[in-house]
Amino acid sequence: RLFTHVFNASGPLHHRRPGALGAALTDDRLTVTLIADGVHVHPAVIRLVWRAKPAGGVVLVTDAVAWRSARSSDRGVAHVDGAPRLPDGTLAGSSLTMPEAVRGAVTAGVDLADAVTAASTTPAALLGLADRGAIAPGRRADLVALDGGLRVQAVWCGGALAAQPPAGNGE
């Protein structure tokens, strides 16, 4: 049902041996998760994934890790070229936030409504959370208000204002 981190740390998509990536992109029963930061997956490949999957077939994820923690530093994790990396350059998760993931998908050419759905409605449905993922009667009323640059302006949880960043700081 779910293919985790499509194109991340996987073998290449080969025209004679499509393998797991070929199945992930062509089997409509599978939902794929995607790290849309332009580091884990190139913007052109982000567009490819969206074109290959039916509506509701993509879930945006962050793969965020606490790379600044003492435990991460003990392992030599450092933020290099837009992502946490091990000393050999291997990606070690991400520092991506969900608003940044939505912005990354939109910047790559994904429709804003599709990117927001992939960050909210689709994952809630996949997890069986019928009270989340959309604003409708009987739902929790979790909502994030974004400005034109897709930066967070306010957050509501259960219908109550939970956070509002200081002016000029929208993440």
Q: Is 71 left (phi over 0), alpha (psi -120 to 50) or beta?
A: alpha
Q: Looking at the domain assignment, is residue 34 inside a domain? A: yes
User: Is 27 assigned a catalytic role?
Assistant: no
Query: Total structural domains in the chain?
Result: 1
Q: Looking at the domain assignment, is residue 68 inside a domain? A: no
| pLDDT confidence of residue 111 | 97
Residue 88 CB neighbours (<10 A) = 6
Active-site entry in 37, 63, 114, 142: 63
Q: Looking at the domain assignment, is residue 143 inside a domain? A: no
| pLDDT confidence of residue 165 | 76
Q: Looking at the domain assignment, is residue 8 inside a domain? A: yes
pLDDT at residue 166 greater than cutoff 60: yes
Domain span including residue 23: 2-62+97-133
Give the tens place of pLDDT for each residue, 116-141. Answer: 999 999 999 999 999 999 999 989 98
The separation between CA 131 and the C-alpha centre of its own chain, rounded to angstroms, equals: 21
Q: What is the pTM assigned to this prediction?
A: 0.86
Q: Looking at the domain assignment, is residue 144 inside a domain? A: no
Give the tens place of pLDDT for each residue, 18-47. Answer: 999 999 999 999 999 999 998 889 999 999
Contact 36, 95 (CB under 8 A): no
43 contact partners, CB below 8 Å, separation of at least 6: 104, 107, 108, 109
